[in-house]
Structure 1
Amino acid sequence: MVNSVERDELGSTSLASVSLARVKRLVAAYVVVALGTLVALAVLAVAAPHLATSEAWGHAVIVAVFAIVLPVRTRAALKGSPSGLRALTIIGCVLLVVNLVEAALPGVFPAWMRVEMLVIAAMMLTLAILSIRVRRNRQPVADDQANDPR
């Protein structure tokens, strides 16, 4: 098993590994929100069909697709993959913007889904910040090793 916790010479946990642990929890919360949205839509389709619009279903399906992609990329980032970390940053930024734009569209989505979009946008802002922080903390180490004459 790969140890995903990075420690410095003194044995203390690095900021990158702490941030990645937060990313892992945040992605897990995103998966719960995405699946919860699908369940809510299924219930609303029966109980209050006017609250389960086709636009809402389209949004929920896209959110669910990313609920599959994000954990995969998170696992790669936890194993030290720069492309996994880059993917987390890009996906987080794209989902942030898309959810904010969709939430601002007048009359397209029901109010409960606008709240869900704003929650996801906040989660993705946090994801982007954490993944950028990890990338910055990893970058100097890679640069120092590349410039090391040994």
Structure 2
Amino acid sequence: MTRTETAGFRPVLLLTGAYVALSVLTFVVIVLFRDHPAMVTDAVWVRATIVVASSLLTFAFARSAARGSRKGLLRLRIVSAVMLVAIVVIVVLPGLFPLWLRIEQAACGVLLLGVTLLVNGRALRAR
């Protein structure tokens, strides 16, 4: 893949990098507030762990796709769409998670929506 083709992935790399940063920051906040059961429930711990892992995978797949890997692009397309659906469910279901985590997940969803739209768009797939 040429430098010009790799540059087409720059927005995807930025969005997935922001997803990693937000996920890791959220996990740090959870660790800091672990003694506040109203804010940090067992479900919050589980969800945050899954989100950090998926964000790291998403970023790794984005880097692989940016280097020209078709498998990396396919994996990125699948993971970003699946996580986006999971986030939508978490945001709309009342009572499952504290409001602060649902807001954070909505922000992650916006980032993943951008990724999903970009990696499934004609311009990027054509590269």
Q: What is the alpha-carbon distance in structure 1 between the residues aligned to residue 39 and residue 103 of structure 2?
A: 13
Q: What is the Cα deviation at residue 99 of structure 1?
A: 0.3
Say if 2:19 is the partner of 1:21.
no
Q: Deviations over 1:4-62 (max 9, x none)?
A: 523xxxxxxxxx5444011111111011011011111111113x221001111111000
Residue ranges of structure 1 left out of the alignment (5+ in a row): 7-15, 139-150
Q: State the match for 1:69 in structure 2.
A: 57
TM-score, length of structure 1 as denominator length: 0.77
CA pair 71-4 structure 1, distance change in 2 beyond 3 A:
farther
Structure 2 counterpart of 1:5, from 3, 7, 18: 3
- Assess if the C-alpha contact under 8 Å between 1:19 and 1:130 holds in 2: no
Give the TM-score taking structure 2 as reference length. 0.90
Q: Larger relative CO (CA 8 A, sep 6+): 1 or 2?
A: 2
Asked if 2 retains the 8 angstrom alpha-carbon contact of 1:19 and 1:131, the reply is no
SS of residue matched to 1:49: coil
Distance 1:33 1:74, change over 3 A: same
Mark the runs of 5 or more structure 2 residues left unpaired by the alignment. none
Letter in 2 for 1:34: S
- Counterpart Cα distance in 2 of 1:112 and 1:19: 34
1:111 to 96, 99, 104: 99
How large is the Cα RMSD of the aligned pairs?
1.5
| Distance in 1 of aligned mates of 2:104 and 2:38 | 17
Count of residue correspondences: 125
Distance 1:130 1:18, change over 3 A: farther
Structure 2 residue identity aligned to 1:117: Q
Distance 1:104 1:93 in 2: 17
Aligned-residue offset at 1:106: 1.3
Match runs of 1:1-150 below 5 Å: 4-6=2-4, 17-46=6-35, 48-133=36-121, 134-135=124-125, 137-138=126-127
Report deviation, 1:91.
0.9
